[in-house]
Amino acid sequence: MITLPPLKEMERAYKQRDASYDGLFFLAVRTTGVFCRPSCPARKPLSSNVEYYSSPREAVFAGYRPCKRCRPMETNGEPPQWVGVLLSTIEKNPSARYPDAYLRSISVDPARARRFFLKNYGMTFQAYCRARRLGRSFEQIRLGADLDDVALGYGYNSHSGFRDAFAKTFGAAPGKSRGTDCIVTAWVESPFGPLLAAAMSEGICLLEFTDRRRLDHQFSRLRKYFRCSIVPGENSHIVQLKSELAEYFAGKRKRFSVKLFYPGTPFEETVWNVLLTIRYGSTVTYEDIAKSIGSPGASRAVGRANGFNRISIVIPCHRVINKNGELGGYGGGLWRKKMLLELEKGNS
């Protein structure tokens, strides 16, 4: 369960239009029936008329509609400015340590950083830093770097400390890790909200909107199939994916060429392979897919497999609708499914 900031902190944030809280919570106004970002420029409501939610989905399910001024459903996917600074700093020097004292020195509340990273990355800021250090060291070891150089170069004062931390994260001592793999994850910006991408050396294995229902379940399935650790980072597949997604959202790409890796049950893989054949700008029904795989009575099973697809947009499960023409379910939210389909139809 996502923990919201303290009530007084949220009240202060929206009254001061503090954009650094955008994405950490959303406020809904009982008297108007709308919900907003904390930074919304509209007139601020009385505290007694405000309810707080951790995601747009929760606010919508509670009966509120998005504000037309701050458009909380149409985020550009960019993290708050202070988070962007932290991420950039870590990437420039992943071997460094960034204690609470450092955060305070750049006017970032350690508690706020912890909450944001827990909400968006599933780990605290300090855990992110540790995982990023180890992720970089893992890459170097796989490329044949000397273990002593890696241990000392990534901020560990002793070889034993490095080996213990490495083994705890990756399940094997550094010397036994050559030829093994891990899952690297990265934030991807989009006009429909931030996405979380994950990849192994074989290709992209996950792409989901960060507020997707049961995102934690998708990660559990990744661990089950791949039996390796998940750490923040980037590889060539994620770099390519970011480029192709930018072209897709700009209406300049209709087919993805980035390499994918999506093991599942035989039935799931069959359904996912069919999804990849659905043409840009078109839709099919669950019944159509069931018939195409020789199982005309398996539309419900097709729906379940569709829902278990871990690589949204690229494996286009959003192009599957109900036989009555209604959109049906979508893990990223029906509003996103509608917008993705409108994007494609407008450029087909």
Based on its alpha-carbon atoms, the radius of gyration of the chain, rounded to whole angstroms, reads 22
CA dist., res. 156 & res. 41, Å (int): 47
Q: What are phi and psi of 197, to 5 degrees?
A: -110, 145
Give the count of beta carbons closer than 10 Å to the beta carbon of residue 186: 19
Among the listed residues 70, 129, 205, 317, the single catalytic one is: 317
Exposure string for 312-336, b = 16+ CB within 10 A, e = fewer: bbbbbbbbbbeeeeeebebbbbebb
Q: Does residue 167 contact residue 178 with C-beta atoms inside 8 Å?
A: no
Task: Give, for 341, the enclosing helix (H) or strand (E).
Answer: helix 334-347
CA dist., res. 239 & res. 35, Å (int): 35
| Active site (annotated) includes residue 317 | yes
- Going by C-beta distance under 8 Å and a sequence separation of 6 or more, which residues neighbour residue 254? 248, 280, 281, 344, 347, 348
Could you count the other beta carbons within 10 Å of the beta carbon of residue 239? 13
Which H or E run contains 298?
none
Q: Report the catalytic residues.
A: 317
